Every structure is written in structure tokens, then in C-alpha cells.
């Protein structure tokens, strides 16, 4: 599959347009901005968690077939969701900081080239433009297996812009950063973190748990959330798939 090869052996990331309709992207974006408006935090960059329990649209995005196909091609089927959150860059927000993704940033360098430990999905909930915080990535930096170097980043980074409803899939080792939001509107993304199941998830997938919403989750989503990992009568976690 070309998209998986682009992430592993090519530039380290691939933009797939048109996975959400304009209406779906707007629905997700408005939901996030309404929640953020209620939060006491006035940070210029905000994260929002627990979304999969709030609207079925978010739960569907975690298992979006085209995204999952690329992720599984790279990581295999034995994967879990390490996190799924919204990222809001308010007008005036500065850069996030150059980084590789979890779990690499929690590991000592040099990072292992194999097995691949994370693929990130960045959902664009509005057009990402040169001035509203669209991220920068350094092509092929996933091959270097080391923490980002600011000068090299400045010399080689390219900005990824694209239409609302696209998803940007990237290798966890790819050096990246957000840019400043110099527009008058908040820029909203959704971030999915997929890892092999032996990686400790970054976020608590039970944050904001709502039984009524969780009951409707597909078997694949439950598996990604580790809901099916172990009945309490068993003393150890099984190493085989339960579903
Ligand atoms: O929101 C974005 O554009 C990217 C954020 C990001 O790179 C991250 O949280 O790792």
C-alpha cells in the first residue's frame, strides 16, 4: 500500500483528503469549541479528552477504515489506542515545540528503527493554512531515530496544509511542530495515537467513560481501547487476541 510506504520508507507522513464531509468536520469542530468554551482554562493551546464518549462521530473516527488500514499495514492488527484528543490552537497561539511522538519522547535515544512504535493521525477539522497553525514536518526524519535538532528542523521542515476533512498520518519518529496561529479563528485538530499493544497508553481511555456510549462501541474499538483485555478472574493478561 502506497500510503503505508510513504509513512515508513518515504517522507514519513501522508495526507489523505476527503475522509470527512465538510458537515462532519464542522460538527466535530463545533462540539470541541463548545466544550473548550466551558473549560476554565484560557491557555492558547488546549487539549480536550474523553470525546469518544460524547458523540459517536469521534468513536467512528478512531476506527475509520482507511486510517485503520494504513495503521494496521504498518503496525499490524495487535494495536491499541494510546490516545485520542482534540488540540485547539487559539488565535495568537505559539508553536507547540519540536518533537517526536509518544512513546519515543519517553525513551532514551537513539530510538529503535524497528519495531515501529507509533503512528499518529491528525484530523484536520478545518482547512489548515499557512497562517493558522498548520504543522511543520521534516521529510524522512523518521529514518534518523534521534531527538529533533532545532537547526536541522529549521533548515528542512515543510508545512503541511490541506482541506478540512483530511487526515495526516505520520510516523512517531518524524520530527514535527505546530506553527503559530496568526489567523482570527481557532484551529482545531483531532489527534489519534496508535501503538503496538505492548506500549503503555499515553492517555487513560476511560477518562470521561459513559456506559451508554461504550455499549455501542464496535468490537474493534473495544479492542483498541483494551476493554477486552482481561476478565478479572484471570491472573495475567492474555497475549492473544480475544476478539
Ligand atoms: O495539532 C497538530 O497540528 C499537531 C499536534 C501534535 O503534533 C502532537 O500533539 O503531537
Q: Does residue 215 fall inside a structural domain? A: yes
The DSSP bridge partners found for residue 169 are: 14, 121
Q: Which atom of ligand 1 is nearest to the CA of 176?
A: 7
Q: Does residue 238 fall inside a structural domain? A: no
Q: Say what the pTM is.
A: 0.95
Is 159 touching ligand 1 by the criterion CB < 6 Å? Answer: no
Is 82 touching ligand 1 by the criterion CB < 6 Å? Answer: no
Separation of CA 121 and ligand 1 centre (Å):
9
Number of domains in the chain: 1
Q: Does residue 189 fall inside a structural domain? A: yes
pLDDT in tens, 155-186: 999 999 999 999 999 999 999 999 999 999 99
Separation of CA 2 and ligand 1 centre (Å):
23
Residues 6+ apart with CB under 8 A from 99: 105, 148, 175, 176, 177
| Residue 196 buriedness (CB in 10 A; 0-12 / 13-18 / 19+) | middle
- Among protein residues, the one with the nearest Cα to ligand 1's atom 9 is 191
**Helices vs strands, H then E, count in the chain:** 7, 9
pLDDT in tens, 88-135: 999 999 999 999 999 999 999 999 999 999 999 999 999 999 999 999
Q: Does residue 237 fall inside a structural domain? A: no
Q: Which atom of ligand 1 is nearest to the CA of 178?
A: 3
Q: Does residue 231 fall inside a structural domain? A: no
Q: Does residue 98 fall inside a structural domain? A: yes
pLDDT in tens, 9-40: 999 999 999 999 999 999 999 999 999 999 88
Is 189 touching ligand 1 by the criterion CB < 6 Å? Answer: yes
**Which pLDDT belongs to residue 103?**
98
Instruction: Compute the mean pLDDT over every residue in the chain, rounded to the nearest whole number.
Output: 95
C-alpha cell at 74: 504498518
CA distance from start to end of the chain: 25
C-alpha cell at 179: 506553527
Q: Which CATH number is 71's domain given?
A: 2.60.120.620
Q: Does residue 72 fall inside a structural domain? A: yes
Q: Does residue 44 fall inside a structural domain? A: yes
- State which residues form the domain around 148: 2-224
Is 176 touching ligand 1 by the criterion CB < 6 Å? Answer: yes
Is 141 touching ligand 1 by the criterion CB < 6 Å? Answer: no
Amino acid at each position: 500500500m502506497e500510503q503505508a510506504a510513504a509513512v515508513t520508507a518515504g517522507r514519513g507522513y501522508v495526507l489523505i483528503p476527503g475522509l470527512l464531509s465538510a458537515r462532519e468536520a464542522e460538527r466535530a469542530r463545533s462540539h470541541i469549541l463548545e466544550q473548550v468554551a466551558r473549560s476554565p482554562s484560557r491557555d492558547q493551546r488546549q487539549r480536550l479528552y474523553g470525546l469518544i464518549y460524547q458523540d459517536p462521530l469521534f468513536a467512528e473516527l478512531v476506527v475509520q477504515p482507511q486510517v485503520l488500514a494504513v495503521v494496521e499495514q504498518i503496525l499490524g492488527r495487535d494495536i491499541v489506542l494510546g490516545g485520542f484528543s482534540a488540540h485547539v490552537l487559539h488565535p495568537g497561539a505559539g508553536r507547540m515545540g519540536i518533537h517526536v511522538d509518544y512513546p519515543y519522547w519517553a525513551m532514551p535515544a537513539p530510538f529503535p528503527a524497528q519495531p515501529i512504535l507509533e503512528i499518529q493521525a491528525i484530523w484536520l477539522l478545518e482547512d489548515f493554512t499557512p497562517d493558522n497553525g498548520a504543522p511543520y514536518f521534516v521529510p524522512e526524519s523518521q529514518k534518523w531515530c534521534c531527538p529533533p535538532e532545532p537547526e536541522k528542523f529549521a533548515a528542512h521542515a515543510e508545512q503541511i496544509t490541506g482541506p478540512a476533512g483530511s487526515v495526516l498520518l505520520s510516523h512517531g519518529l518524524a520530527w514535527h511542530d505546530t506553527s503559530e496561529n496568526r489567523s482570527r479563528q481557532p484551529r482545531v485538530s483531532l489527534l489519534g495515537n496508535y501503538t503496538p499493544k505492548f506500549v503503555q497508553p499515553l492517555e487513560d481511555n476511560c477518562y470521561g467513560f459513559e456506559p451508554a456510549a461504550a455499549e455501542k462501541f464496535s468490537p474493534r474499538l473495544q479492542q483498541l481501547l483494551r476493554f477486552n483485555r482481561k476478565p478479572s478472574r484471570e491472573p495475567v493478561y492474555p497475549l492473544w487476541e480475544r476478539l
